[in-house]
């Protein structure tokens, strides 16, 4: 950690091992107090030189960065969230630019309030997001029309046929699920953080119904185990269904057709846990599994767990991933009201 003459050595041992660039600035003046060695790799400036730079030298739009930084600082100090994140366009020493993401928190250096920004280069991620947006536009446009046509054909067959109602019902269910997937993609692209029509949902029924609609003959011997009374939660039925559906599909995709998925209330009654006995998620990948487009499967889109995270966030819930009791993946959803209680209580 390279400090300014007025800086303190207190942060050195903590931040030196961070791979991303760390910039510590005075909360009032914006003057750089300290930086770590990684600023040279990210920005191209030696730490000693970087400390003396104005924002004009490392930000393509200094005014916008100042406004975003100030807003992030207010978020941290006023809401006590601990950190806030914003994106901006940074400039390297050679004049090239890149998309950067800063995670902002606060610290005190020699009784002085400071802002600590961990800065990472997200050019690759931003490009992937643009590719996914283009893919989503094609998907929503090109699939909606044939889906509408197929649904119309089902209605014609239903009106003209005297039999086969069960198969027509199944076909209609498939069409409905495909339409929901298209809507999910549109929701992800638009960044919708709101729920549609929330109501009090019986979670035991929601889990078993979603499992029944998710598994099919290709799911082999995949098994669902519901432990205890899951109680109720106030939720948008469709987005809750998509959340559970994607967790189940993720378990089957990675755990195989004989995977066992267990759903249970958390001990403190604050939410539920969805756990499988598959291969699990490596610790180094757990921080990225909810990212837009991130996947370890060769045929995956990277939408599934991002849809899960988006649905949880829209409801005001939090979701965390950990290792399960059998070594598989464990997803804990917290902040759900009424879990583990009788419906309506």
* Overall pTM surpassing 0.95 (yes/no): no
Q: Which residues contact 212 (CB under 8 A, 6 or more apart)?
A: none
CATH, domain 2-121, list 3.40.50.300, 3.30.70.1520, 3.30.450.20, 3.40.50.720: 3.30.450.20
pLDDT at 204: 96
Across the chain, the runs of DSSP E, i.e. the strands, are: 2-3, 21-26, 32-35, 84-91, 97-109, 112-121, 199-202, 223-226, 232-235, 260-265, 271-276, 318-323, 329-334
Q: Are the C-beta atoms of residues 45 and 35 closer than 8 Å to each other?
A: no
Rounded-to-integer distance, Cα 24 and Cα 116, Å: 4
Per residue of the chain (345 residues), give pLDDT as tens.
455 433 445 555 566 678 899 998 888 888 888 899 899 999 999 998 998 888 778 888 887 777 777 777 676 666 555 667 788 889 999 999 998 888 888 888 778 888 888 998 888 877 777 776 777 677 666 676 677 777 777 778 777 776 677 777 777 777 776 776 776 666 666 555 567 678 899 999 999 999 988 886 556 789 999 999 999 999 999 889 989 998 998 898 888 889 999 999 998 888 999 999 999 988 888 878 888 666 665 445 567 788 888 888 888 898 999 888 889 999 999 988 755 444 333
Domain 199-334: assigned CATH number: 3.30.565.10
């Amino acid at each position: 950690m390279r400090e300014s003459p007025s800086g303190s050595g207190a942060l050195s041992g903590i931040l030196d091992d961070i791979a991303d660039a760390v910039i510590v600035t005075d909360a009032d003046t914006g003057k750089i107090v300290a930086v770590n060695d990684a600023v040279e790799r990210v920005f191209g400036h030696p730490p000693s030189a970087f400390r003396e730079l104005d924002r004009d030298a490392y930000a393509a739009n200094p005014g916008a960065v100042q406004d975003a930084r100030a807003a992030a600082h207010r978020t941290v100090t006023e809401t006590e969230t601990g950190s806030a994140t914003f994106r901006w366009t940074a400039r390297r020493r050679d004049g090239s630019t890149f998309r950067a993401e800063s995670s902002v928190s606060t610290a005190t250096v020699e009784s002085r309030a400071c802002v600590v920004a961990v800065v990472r280069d997200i050019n690759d991620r931003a490009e992937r997001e643009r590719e996914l947006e283009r893919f989503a536009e094609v998907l929503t446009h090109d699939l909606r029309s044939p889906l509408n046509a197929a649904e119309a054909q089902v209605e014609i067959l239903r009106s003209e046929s005297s039999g086969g109602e069960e198969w027509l019902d199944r076909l209609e269910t498939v069409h409905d699920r495909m339409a929901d997937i298209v809507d999910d993609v549109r929701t992800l692209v638009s960044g919708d953080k709101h729920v549609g029509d929330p109501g009090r949902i019986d979670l035991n029924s929601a889990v078993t119904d979603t499992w029944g609609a998710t598994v099919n003959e290709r799911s082999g011997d995949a098994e669902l185990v519901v432990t205890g009374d899951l109680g109720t939660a106030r939720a948008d039925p469709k987005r809750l269904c998509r959340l559970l559906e994607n967790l189940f599909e993720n378990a089957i995709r990675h755990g195989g057709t004989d995977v066992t998925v267990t759903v249970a209330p958390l001990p403190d009654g604050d939410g539920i846990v969805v756990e499988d006995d598959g291969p699990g998620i490596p610790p180094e990948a757990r921080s990225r599994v909810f990212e837009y487009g991130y996947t370890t499967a060769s045929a995956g889109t990277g939408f599934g767990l991002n849809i899960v995270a988006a649905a949880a966030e829209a409801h005001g819930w939090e979701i965390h991933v950990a290792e399960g009791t059998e070594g598989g993946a464990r997803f804990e959803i917290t902040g759900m009201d009424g879990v583990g209680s009788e419906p309506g209580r």
